[in-house]
Amino acid sequence: MSDIRVPSIVLPDEAANRPPSQSDASECTARHIPIHKRHRTHASPKCVVLPQTRDSQQFFSKDVLDIPELDAHNIVSSKDTGHVRQVHHHLEDRGALKVNLGFPDPNSDYLQQLVLSLHGHYGHGLPFSHSSSRGWFWDVRPQPETLEHRAISETMGHFPWHTDSCYETEPARFFALHVLQHDRFGGGTLSLLSVDLLLRSIPSSAKLALSKPEFRLAVPMEFRKGEQNAIIGNLLSMDSTYTRLRFREDIVTPLSARADAAFHELLHSLAQQKTTNVQHLRSEALPQGSIILLDNGRWLHSRNHVRDHKRHLRRVRWDARPFGKHVSIA
């Protein structure tokens, strides 16, 4: 993957002070400002934008150039109906949103209350608890190598392309990552790839095969509950509004010839798209005090090697929904 920085943000009110041009593609066009300048008073949504330089044009299509961005000036924002409405709108429309916290929040109180507000106003399902001790949140940080079963997210290693909780019969529709300490040494880059773009070059017959329950998904050891160690189900879920994918190559086994052929079509498209349409969100784009919220089935994500032992993110997953017909196997 190309390691491209995301060095700028957009202030729409400044864009309003200049005449429009043909290059203005959306509400997110404006003068670029270094992303580390965080003191703002603007309440309107902004966008993380990759400037169209000669070097970056060859790596990105205009489909993936921006992510909506909001400011939360205090904890009250998480209960403000206007703020919550904007969060809901961006998650429905783009399936991605970045929130910049304007206040210290070591306990992730804003994120907890925001999920409660989305539940109350828009019917989002509440998060499932990771354990009796961890509750809703999972602290994503390097753990000692002596632990017998560590999640890949708790290592310093590369975490390849995947969707979260893809081994669940009801995977979370949304997840969020609150950056408590970004990687200070240039590692731990979050990379995103739109599922719509990924599927664009895949034949309809392969999409149909991916939507059939002909795939075995192994449950990672650290997430096994009781005797269940795998499920059999589909990888693609299509309805009148969205197409969603669940994916993690190392735990998927196709169970038929057509499933195997379709899975290889998917892997081939991934190999192509990850060199052309990926957004790499480095620490400059996701510094301490920022939150990224994603529709889990509409975006694949990955992470490169972590270089900072102090890197610390806090994750929450919510709104779990059935993905299709499944069979749990021991």
Domains of the chain, each with CATH number or no CATH: 8-329 (3.60.130.10)
Closest by Cα among 308, 70, 292, 256 to 177: 292
| pLDDT per residue as tens digits for the range 260-289 | 999 999 999 999 998 889 999 999 999 999
Residue 89: the pLDDT is: 98
- What H or E segment, with its residue span, contains residue 191? strand 190-194
Residue 34: the pLDDT is: 37
Sequence letter at residue 104:
P
Sequence letter at residue 117:
S
Low-confidence ranges of the chain (pLDDT < 70): 1-65, 130-134, 143-154, 325-330
Task: Give the pairing type, strands 96-101 and 66-72.
Answer: parallel
Closest by Cα among 202, 324, 219 to 261: 202
Residues 6 or more apart whose Cβ sits within 8 Å of residue 147:
154
The token pair at 154 is: 């708790």
Residue 127: the pLDDT is: 94
Q: Is 88 helix (H, G, I), strand (E, B) or coil?
A: helix
Residue 326: the pLDDT is: 60
Residue 330: the pLDDT is: 52
Q: Where are the alpha helices (DSSP H) in 94-214?
A: 109-122, 195-199, 204-210
CB atoms under 10 Å from CB of 24, counted, come to 13
